[in-house]
Structure 1
């Protein structure tokens, strides 16, 4: 129980401090710290916790008016379809191979976090009948792809969804973060449902993760206000930590990965 609460607190703390990245460490924490033996169970449990955490965070952003609802709902709908397909593929993948591939994804995510973001923000962007012709061809495929990855690896995918929304609509990052939580909840819930139907969710562990995550998010938000000027530095430190963890996870699953590569 203490380890599960601590894992949830770490996930929430990361989300509170830098606004993303909590879900990417959830599966490694469950496997290597909490001791969940089955990668499929770790992914299913993490998906439930991540979706609930996103729902709790969405309320604050909705009150602040930083959610572009039409963009969010279209992106989430396309993403949910991708997440359902991705979850089915993930459940059919060998658990050790899945962990190794997850490690590679962590390395890629960490490297992407080190790249400076470039955008020409449009805070007034809206999905309307007039703008649908230009926005839908970008929102739908990007939402589907983000959902496919999120479902396969059982993650919230905020690190994918935020830049995808910015690329599709040119909305500022503040709006992208708030809008992304709708999709994170939808994708996480879709993935969680798929894994739950297959019996890959530990509900008692999920409750502990959510409880710890709430406390961690509260502390992270308070620290984030005091460390606002250091958020870029914190993000870089976290990126290096994600890369290091990804390399460790990949190394642990290397026999399965090398066997899969040899067979291919």
Structure 2
């Protein structure tokens, strides 16, 4: 059954779902990524939804819609590169569909282990980013052949579909290094790619009955609020971005170690 019967959610569960959505939307709008990678552990261990595949299929759609609202906020400022973003999204969708099919064939336990390790990698990368200026993370360092760039887009799609993540934290540097986007353009346009991959992944899981409309609705409601807050803050925190990255990396590391503890 595609639509899971979860209409009996308690008030505390609904509050936790809203809080999760706010966190996702806020991080997506503020950094172009990160919100998606915390969604799965929050739903598993804070909201306490036990079905990992259901969590992945549902969170993918919630992250996608949150990214869409954040995309609109950034589009108002003219930072989205629509044409190339659509081309990148098309390739990423192909990878995400393949990744989702592979993910559905893997036991939940074996999905969470690579997910935890990926969180640790992201935490390290974010911590490193917090120690340097954004200027060093610039398009001027781009030296990749176009074939390699498009293979990288497809690979990011596969990873996003397999683990049920938005992949913004991977898309942003890819757009900067391989497609010569400015950081602002990369953050804004990555939201389009995150939306495309999230919808594709969720649709694939829905065909296997691993999707909940009710949970998604509450996460989206929170995501709208968080996305608006994050987009309002995005243009005002350039001087404090290092602190934000450092705190975010510490949070990811703690969640990753907890997931490893629970699954080893």
TM-score of the two chains, using structure 2 as the length reference: 0.86
User: SS where residue 93 of structure 1 aligns?
Assistant: coil
Equivalent in the alignment of 2:7:
none
Contact 1:17 1:223 in 2 (8 A): yes
Equivalent in the alignment of 2:65:
52
Of the candidates 1, 10, 15, which is equivalent to residue 28 of structure 2?
A: 15
TM-score of the two chains, using structure 1 as the length reference: 0.86
Q: Are residues 51 and 172 of structure 1, via their aligned partners in 2, closer, same or farther at CA, if it must alter by over 3 Å?
A: same
Runs of 4+ in 1 over 6 A off after TM superposition: none
Contact 1:17 1:231 in 2 (8 A): no
**Residues of 1 paired with 2:72 and 2:229: CA distance?**
18
**Residues of 1 paired with 2:137 and 2:246: CA distance?**
19
Q: Cα distance, 1:169 vs. partner?
A: 1.5
2:189 aligned with 1:182, yes or no? no
Of the candidates 118, 124, 133, which is equivalent to residue 105 of structure 1?
A: 118
Matches within 5 A, 1:169-208: 169-208=179-218
**Residues of 1 paired with 2:34 and 2:81: CA distance?**
21
User: SS where residue 128 of structure 2 aligns?
Assistant: coil
Q: Are residues 241 and 252 of structure 1, via their aligned partners in 2, closer, same or farther at CA, if it must alter by over 3 Å?
A: same
Of the candidates 37, 45, 59, which is equivalent to residue 24 of structure 1?
A: 37
In the TM superposition, what whole-angstrom CA distance separates every residue of 1:55-108 from its partner, at most 9, and x where no partner exists? Answer: 112222223221222321221111111101110111111011211221111001
Q: Cα distance, 1:207 vs. partner?
A: 0.2
**Residues of 2 paired with 1:91 and 1:99: CA distance?**
13
Q: Cα distance, 1:141 vs. partner?
A: 0.7
Q: Cα distance, 1:2 vs. partner?
A: 1.3
Q: Are residues 154 and 110 of structure 1, via their aligned partners in 2, closer, same or farther at CA, if it must alter by over 3 Å?
A: same
Equivalent in the alignment of 1:163:
173
Of the candidates 73, 88, 106, which is equivalent to residue 93 of structure 1?
A: 106
Matches within 5 A, 1:133-144: 136-144=146-154
Q: Cα distance, 1:166 vs. partner?
A: 1.1
Matches within 5 A, 1:77-88: 77-88=90-101
**Residues of 2 paired with 1:102 and 1:185: CA distance?**
20
In the TM superposition, what whole-angstrom CA distance separates every residue of 1:98-142 from its partner, at most 9, and x where no partner exists? Answer: 1122111100111111223634436xx9xxxxxxxx874244211
